[in-house]
Amino acid sequence: MKQTSRLLVVLTGLTLAVLFWGVFQLVASNYFAGLSIPEVHALFVSHGLVCALLLAAWAGFFVLRSRRKFEEAVAEKQALFDRQMADTEKMAAIGKIAAGVAHQLNTPLGSIMLTAEMLDEELNGNDEFHQEVQKILRNTHYCKGVVRNLLLYAKPHREADREESICFVIRRVATLFDHEMKKRGIQFETVVDCNECAVFCNVNLIEQLIFNLIQNAVDAQPNGGRITVRTIVGGNGRLCIFVNDGGAGIPPDVMPHIFEPFFTTKAADKGTGLGLAVAQRIAEDHGGSIRVESAPDRGSTFIVDLPATPPSVNPLAAASIGGD
């Protein structure tokens, strides 16, 4: 609106300047010498009417254009509000469904995993059947992860927070991917200092956040590659966690949607589109944020920013963790 008003003022000034210049030229050329007063008056009135009509046309054009832009802005905000309301209603419905699904599935899934583990122990090193049992365990673990992600996104369960070293969390979570990373030929590296990366957090939720980011990095490299996780504690008292993969990168048209719930480019049996949405929500619930940097054929780096706490981890305990 301000820009339109300025432009209208400029055009009005130009119109008046042209009018006065025309009158000056007429006066300078003694054009009025042969005209009577009524004729001069009629000439000025006609010129004034022409300028007034021109200014009115310009004003009408700019008013209509401003009104159209205003209506478009209102429509856009209304559409955004409608989407937010739809998402809220969807999340409420998901919360109810997820609670029921979790209650109905967690017990049989746990039973399947326990039975598979007992069966694996009874096989006494039979490699052929061991691989099959591992498939059962991996798929069961995937199903439990789907249920957990639904619950975490729909209604995160906050337990008591405590101080925890992100170094320990990263290494605990990484062990869950040992078999899959070896199978795909993925090298895993951590560059962290266990004495300087403590956060006051819900440990289970932070583990889920790290799990989702590493899972995403593994999925981005089906034919092998490298995953690097490093931490940096800045002078502003913030802890940054970098999870880098050597995948194909995120296409520009996909980038704006990666944190949207249920958005995924993976096959239906590979992802639900909730992993990164859950990670974002967990980070925000802990007073932090998450963002991504990516380039075609250069991989992606997810950066989690969390408030750090003063280090209180025992150096001996850190040393006992061992290498990567």
pLDDT in tens, 88-145: 676 666 666 666 666 677 778 888 888 888 888 887 767 777 778 888 887 787 777 7
Identify residue 309 by its one-letter amino acid code: T
pLDDT in tens, 163-204: 888 888 898 888 888 888 888 899 999 888 777 678 888 888
> What domains are there in the chain, each with its CATH number?
1-155 (no CATH), 162-319 (3.30.565.10)
For residue 243, pLDDT over 90 is answered with yes
Give the whole-angstrom CA distance, residue 195 versus residue 216: 27
- Closest C-alpha to 296, from 263, 262, 247: 247
Give the whole-angstrom CA distance, residue 50 versus residue 19: 10
Q: Which residues make beta-bridge pairs with 164?
A: 199
User: Exposed e or buried b for every residue in 223-233, given b needs 16+ CB within 10 A?
Assistant: eebbbbbbbbb
Give the whole-angstrom CA distance, residue 128 versus residue 307: 47
Percentage of residues in the chain with pLDDT exceeding 90? 12
- Residue 182: count of CB within 10 angstroms of its CB: 11
Strands 300-307 and 162-165, sheet pairing: unpaired
Instruction: Label residue 14 by pLDDT band (50, 70, 90).
Output: low
Read off the pTM.
Answer: 0.56
In 3-state terms, what secondary structure has residue 233? strand
In 3-state terms, what secondary structure has residue 306? strand
Highest mean pLDDT of the ranges 13-17, 34-38, 57-61, 246-250? 246-250
pLDDT computed for residue 240 by the predictor: 92
